[in-house]
Homo-oligomer: A and B are copies of this chain.
Amino acid sequence: MTRASSRRPGPPTRTERGIPEATVARLPVYLRALTALSDNGIATASSEDLATAAGVNSAKLRKDLSYLGSYGTRGVGYDVEYLRYQIAREIGVTQDWAVVIVGIGNLGHALANYSGFGTRGFRIVALLDADPKLVGERIGDMEVRDFAELEDIVERDRVSIGVITTPAGPAQEVCDRLVAAGVTSILNFAPVVLSVPDGVDIRKVDLSIELQILAYHEQRKSGEAALPQVPELPAMNGLSDLPSVGGGVGA
């Protein structure tokens, strides 16, 4: 959760209509669970069913849904299609969002290739990279374009979401350009902390950090016994500054 936007000092720290951030983060999970149920031909589901499908407990799910309104029926459960639509609307995926991907390296490639994308609320309108060797390359039905065209594209297609898949180095500059061009939501895969002005939302995905969190717990499981007790700086691993997935030569 990395909201960078305006927190006005009003009394209830919750936003506008007031859905807690933790709940917002779970709504997409519910949406997917509902879709799965729907695909299985299930028309009605109890909070218990839904909670199981979504991997949470039913009390939490009910409370989450209560923030949206009273869409269930006591004694019966939730109408799958109806609830699904309500959540989709609340999240905002009943409309299409234009997305640009900047940095067409390994990961950028993977995301660009991911076909089941355009049909699901998000539409990739451009793949950008500053490396002339990449510009012009075709990926699926799209062509990599020069990063210099960013501003034009953002304006023309009303792009509000940018995905950064460059290496760490150029990420901040790319970010600044995106923001200056009018993008107000950024999904960052580069292993750096980006700074953005108020009103711009940033979320970060970082493979390396996820692995390190797993390693921490893994270490507790087995190695509990013999940890060297505060040794004096033995030659450590090359834990360096870019263990994420950033690809491409970026901007």
- Chain A residues with CB under 8 Å of chain B are 3, 5, 15-16, 24-25, 27-29, 31-33, 35-36, 39, 53-55, 69, 81-82, 84-86, 88-97, 99, 106-107, 109-111, 113-114, 116-117, 119-122, 160-161, 184-187, 191, 193, 195, 199, 201, 203, 205-224, 227-228, 230, 233-234, 236-243, 245, 247
Contact = CB atoms under 8 A, between A and B. Distances in A.
Give 7 nearest A-B pairs by CB, closest first: A92-B219, A55-B193, A106-B110, A28-B212, A185-B214, A110-B110, A28-B209
A216 to B, nearest CB: 5
Given A213-B24, A214-B161, A241-B32, A236 B205 contact: no
A125 to B, nearest CB: 14
Contacts of A199: 221
A198 to B, nearest CB: 11
A80 to B, nearest CB: 11
| Chain A binding surface, main DSSP class | mixed
Nearest to A6: B221
B116 A220 contact: no
B211 A29 contact: no
Contact of A211 (B81, B122, B214, B239): B122
Nearest to A21: B213
Given A25-B213, A32-B191, A35-B239, 5 more contacts: A32-B208, A55-B195, A92-B218, A107-B110, A122-B211
